[in-house]
Structure 1
């Protein structure tokens, strides 16, 4: 059994909580919160691995000297990261992962700054992070620690910490937790410990109604930190690798894509959106003339809509809109080129009524 002093923890960046501009029913709010950080299925998440001395953190060492902590990783560390992305992809999911050497086109920018902890932004939070900044970091040796890498990639796909699941029923020995995390190797403040461990995340943000103590998104905990459930009083150590529930949930949120099921989007023709919450409709469009087109959803629903151009078999993002929590519909207006192929992905957060909802291009 590992000693608590040997356990490193992931430190999630704090992000502002979403503020809803209007009062809404709890079911609608629940659906939006659960899905807001997830990517549209079929997205190709491009990741960049810092690999030279151009990017670093400036810090002060114990002797009062200014030092540079490089963000670049070793060849071995980078290979561990590549293999972890392959592990997630091998679960038969619709998300794609591709390494890029162009930092400016990367959704996920990964550093290896030692001593700065391991962390990642959650899902689409990384979209708005400036391109010169990291969206993920590995702060200790990961050569024999693929679980940490799988964990951080899970965050990048939009999954929160499982030990903060309010359905877990965990009762903490809070002062023992604060004391343990204040000590090396984490050396956390009480505020950081509360944010990453003791705080319960919103019930609407978790997957399902049960708790998975073996999830890759769950921290291990040494003896004396958990008061209840009593069977974990002597420690909770998740099994290695992805749990069966991890695999089930990633397959549910990101099912394997079948392009044979894509629908043709025709000008001035309304395509009915008949989806369950979390479902997605995928459409193709080849313009017969070059001009500015408008694509919009209709009906009382919350959606995120993405427009991409297919280039050499790859969907290249052009524009997107997210109307969730607002009194409007998703809307994109853009010049499209004759003969090119465009993909429209629409993911449903919430549908207010049983009436028809649709998407139209004109």
Structure 2
């Protein structure tokens, strides 16, 4: 799996994350609105059931044992008590996450909601080496971390890393990664915007952090001799994922028709409401007030909440609206996650 680099050290194979989409923000948006959009945009609405499908049975990496390691990785995140759900499906067209095992493609995953932009016949997550080793198991945790919305930790702008860029390009350009300059820049050297990062601390022990050999980092001096491998979720990983995806309430509050309900939310917070329509017809569900919100609707079918529709009004001069036919006495859940508010700061949700 690993090979000596040009400097003689052992360089592991790394995740080559595809470039994240960058929203085109209007120049007249306030800094606060822009920051909130960049911070929240990749995260799923909490309570989403993420369906994943395998496009092969281990490809040229191995057999069913490879699939089992991916299942274990999803379960490791779920075991923290997060509000996201993970469900394996056999039909790739019914999945948000599609997984392939291809040595030539290496290991990678799209980040968070970027998965929704990929065609249903294409992989959104690939694995390029054996997942049954300790490093492979960590790789599965790392890639599933991307899928739920987390970026590379060493690209955290608060890390204060000064790279020996020539050596980084030399090492990553050789075996076993053989990356061109643009892939190395995108996955190692490019710093995230401060607006995209939760908190202000760099977690060197995060599962989203790469290990690095000596000589690649100039500063902080403590890491000139490298960063050791992380093989499991750190305390900060657990704290951050629960911040974005806290446990769900057993039963959301009921939202009654034609009754405006105020939302008391901070950036990234979410409010959930149950809707049980009194009659079958077309309804409007919408937010009111100066705010950027992603609004999603789910229907409870055989005990599982299934996605119906959503609207993201971030950066636009409008409020989110869902126009949808609801069936009498069926159970629906509306989820509203806030980017930011301005003006009076007061927002509300109603259906009619």
Query: What TM-score results when the alignment is normalised by the length of structure 2?
Result: 0.95
Alignment of 1:1-362 (within 5 A): 4-51=9-56, 70=59, 74-144=63-133, 145-260=136-251, 262-362=252-352
**Residue 341 (structure 1) shift:** 0.8
Instruction: Tell me what 1:66 maps to.
Output: none
In the aligned structure 2, how far is the partner of 1:71 from the partner of 1:34? 37
In the aligned structure 2, how far is the partner of 1:299 from the partner of 1:72? 52
**Residue 116 (structure 1) shift:** 1.1
In the aligned structure 1, how far is the partner of 2:92 from the partner of 2:345? 44
In the aligned structure 1, how far is the partner of 2:27 from the partner of 2:225? 46
> After TM superposition, what 4+ stretches of structure 1 lie above 2 angstroms from structure 2?
1-6, 70-73, 353-356
1:315-354 Cα offsets, whole Å, 9 max, x none, are: 1111000001111111100111112111100001111144
**Residue 115 (structure 1) shift:** 2.1
- For structure 1, list consecutive stretches of 5 or more residues without a partner in the other structure: 54-69
**Residue 73 (structure 1) shift:** 5.8
Answer with 152-161 or 4-13: which moved more.
4-13
SS of residue in 2 equivalent to 1:115: helix
**Residue 2 (structure 1) shift:** 9.2
SS of residue in 2 equivalent to 1:359: strand
Assess, with a 3 A threshold, how the Cα gap between structure 1 residues 355 and 166 changes in structure 2: closer, same or farther.
Answer: closer
1:271-294 Cα offsets, whole Å, 9 max, x none, are: 111111111110111111110000
- For structure 2, list consecutive stretches of 5 or more residues without a partner in the other structure: none
**Residue 24 (structure 1) shift:** 1.4
Instruction: Tell me what 1:62 maps to.
Output: none
Assess, with a 3 A threshold, how the Cα gap between structure 1 residues 52 and 75 changes in structure 2: closer, same or farther.
Answer: closer
In the aligned structure 2, how far is the partner of 1:332 from the partner of 1:32? 20
1:191-239 Cα offsets, whole Å, 9 max, x none, are: 1101110110111111211111111001110011000111111111143
SS of residue in 2 equivalent to 1:340: coil
Does structure 1 retain, via aligned residues, the 8 Å contact 2:125–2:143? yes
Query: What TM-score results when the alignment is normalised by the length of structure 1?
Result: 0.92
In the aligned structure 2, how far is the partner of 1:297 from the partner of 1:334? 15
In the aligned structure 1, how far is the partner of 2:277 from the partner of 2:62? 45
Answer with 305-314 or 2-11: which moved more.
2-11
